[in-house]
């Protein structure tokens, strides 16, 4: 275990990474962020478990592929704590993104981690814990999403988004005109868009209730929510909540209104 401490108040974070150079680099980057007060490092999932509660961590930045107790297993242990820390996965593969956000991860970073991307994750941790406001674009309720490309900027209206899909380090927004990638976590998008009708249909998908015109059972995908932009898989875990939200939308006249 290694520790880097600041004297100013801020977040106490734990870095869990079995590769020494990557662990040190991540700890140094985190230690340079003003909102971070204390960085503790552990070389394995088992070492991280031994550190729990001493001190209480605000966030854990952890690798997925580790010998012994891997990152996914450790995240499940952390989620059962009475006051669980925010989880940020830091990994070389995007293949676990849907599972990660299903566990409740605040963010999912791909190696090598860029300092500005790591800073965004810390901002999300602060937002989740109610610790700070931020001037990060996008704004507040994200009624318009601004997406920067190399030579142009695309503005996507929230009202045009029919569903959102976790896609590695990004979220893919599906509209009638095509798809757009934005660097946000699906869990954060759910937090800010749930009040305006977006519902978790699957651990990797949000769907706008107003765009759903049908629920259907298919032979290939099981239960799906049908929108003009495409079919959205519905997991057994989320099917009841989605059906209830669609029923509420039907009673209020919202269901199908967006597609009209």
Would you state the pLDDT for residue 246? 87
Q: Which of 243, 217, 231 is nearest to 163 (CA)?
A: 231
What residues does each domain of the chain span? 2-128, 144-252
Per-residue pLDDT of the chain (260 residues; tens, 9 = 90+): 555 544 446 899 999 999 999 999 999 999 999 999 999 999 999 999 999 877 789 999 999 999 999 999 999 999 889 889 999 999 987 777 767 777 888 888 889 898 988 998 899 899 887 744 333 334 445 788 777 665 667 788 899 999 999 987 689 999 998 998 887 888 888 888 988 899 999 999 999 999 999 999 988 879 999 999 999 999 999 999 999 888 887 776 666 556 55
* Cα 200 to Cα 241: distance, rounded to the nearest angstrom: 8
Q: Which residues contact 53 (CB under 8 A, 6 or more apart)?
A: none
Q: Which residues contact 27 (CB under 8 A, 6 or more apart)?
A: 2, 4, 15, 39, 41
CATH class label, 2-128: alpha beta
CATH class label, 144-252: mainly beta
Laid out side by side, the sheet with 214-218 consists of 214-218, 222-227, 230-233
Dmax over Cα atoms in the chain, in whole Å?
Answer: 59
State the pTM of this model: 0.54
| 2-128 and 144-252 have identical folds | no
- Residue 244: both structure tokens together: 């209830």
- Residue 151: both structure tokens together: 């030579």
């Amino acid at each position: 275990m290694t520790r880097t401490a600041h004297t100013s108040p801020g977040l106490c974070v734990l870095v869990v990474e079995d590769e020494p150079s990557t662990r040190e680099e991540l700890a140094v980057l985190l230690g340079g962020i003003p909102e971070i007060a204390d960085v503790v490092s552990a070389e394995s999932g088992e070492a991280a478990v031994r550190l729990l509660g001493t001190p209480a961590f605000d966030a854990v930045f952890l690798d997925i592929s580790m010998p012994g107790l891997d990152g996914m297993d450790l995240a499940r242990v952390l989620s059962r704590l009475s006051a669980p820390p925010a989880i940020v996965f830091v990994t070389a593969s995007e293949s676990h993104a849907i599972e990660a956000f299903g566990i409740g991860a605040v963010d999912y970073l791909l190696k090598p981690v860029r300092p500005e991307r790591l800073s965004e994750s810390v901002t999300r941790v602060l937002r989740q814990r109610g610790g700070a406001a931020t001037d990060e674009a996008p704004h507040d309720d994200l009624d318009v999403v601004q997406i920067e490309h190399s030579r142009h900027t695309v503005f996507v209206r929230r009202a045009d988004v029919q569903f959102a899909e976790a896609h590695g380090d990004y979220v893919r927004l599906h509209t009638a005109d095509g798809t757009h990638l934005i660097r946000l976590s699906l869990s954060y998008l759910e937090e800010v868009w749930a009040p305006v009708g977006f519902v978790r249909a699957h651990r990797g998908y949000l769907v706008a209730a107003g765009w759903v015109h049908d629920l259907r059972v298919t032979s290939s995908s099981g239960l799906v929510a049908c929108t003009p932009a495409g079919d959205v898989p519905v997991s057994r875990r989320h099917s009841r909540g989605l059906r209830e939200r669609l029923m509420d939308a039907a009673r209020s006249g919202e269901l199908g209104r967006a597609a009209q």
